[in-house]
Homo-oligomer: A and B are copies of this chain.
């Protein structure tokens, strides 16, 4: 470590201690304490993001911080949980700068303020490799109400939040060189899609409603087709999805209008961080009305069916398509 840089303790005191909640005692200890609210279970999840795999090394540091938070809080939201806090492991490459770190910490603080939750602890290591961030997120649900992934039943209605495919299209635009359809979009449309890639929006507002109405839920991180297959795997269940009902943003709709073959990217691309849930038919109307009232509409896209094959995606013209599991993987 070069001598003009602060020590790890100095970094923690300057940038991270101000984000610490009461459980972390100002980051002056090697551990934090946390007690779930009375009548609640803690919910735990961990997801790491790596430069060059999950984000671009030159993405704004605040965006990287929010992505690390967002991908983890998206898991909490899908389980019906509200955030309590995070622990952060930051593996810094050799060329890190204090300026980068300051902007990163500011983004992390903004994200925690927006989403909820406190910084409970962390570790900073030097790695002779790309920047990577590991987050363990802790949330809570009323005891026994965690919404599981594998519990959908035949006949349940499949719904998704927000819009699908934006981040995958945004990634194609963000690459060098950008996708060949980039110039057919307006600057605002391109920016909207790239923003969706950079800034996952965990649908935390839907958590209470998922606990009440959803039989099963997960967040869509590895593509709708693959994640739906994961949700239904191994118990004689499949799904039929109406492609025309999959919610698209205006920018994604325009890109698809120009290039219909991008539908595969929309269905199999990653980084949506939307909610996929299975709702019993009798709960659908109440579930959708409550979601709409929150400004977070849930769109029915199909149904859980019996069968062993992968989910079938049916186009308006009757074409039936399936996608192999793992068609998209960060791994």
Instruction: Point out residues on A near B: beta carbons under 8 Å.
Output: 1, 7-9, 23, 25, 28-36, 41-50, 52-54, 75-76, 78-79, 81, 87-89, 91, 120-130, 132, 134, 136, 138-139, 141, 143, 146, 148-150, 218-219, 230, 325-326, 329-331
Contacts and interface: CB of A to CB of B under 8 A. Distances in A.
Given A47-B123, A89-B46, A134-B134, A326 B7 contact: yes
Contacts of A122: 46
A89 B48 contact: yes
Nearest to A137: B31
Nearest to A30: B75
6 contacts: A29-B150, A30-B45, A35-B143, A46-B134, A48-B134, A129-B132
Contacts of A44: 23, 31-34, 87, 120-121, 138
Given A7-B329, A126-B331, A134-B134, A35 B42 contact: yes
Contact of A1 (B41, B49, B87, B331): B331
A30 to B, nearest CB: 5
Contacts of A35: 36, 41-42, 143
A330 B8 CA distance: 9
B125 A50 contact: yes
Contact of A134 (B9, B30, B31, B123): B123
A292 B11 CA distance: 39
Contacts of A34: 41-42, 44
Given A125-B50, A329-B7, A33 B28 contact: no
A39 to B, nearest CB: 10
Given A125-B132, A146-B33, A326-B7, A42 B42 contact: yes
A88 B23 CA distance: 22
Given A87-B136, A129-B129, A136-B46, A9 B41 contact: no
A50 B93 CA distance: 12
Contacts of A331: 1, 7-8, 124-126
Contacts of A23: 44
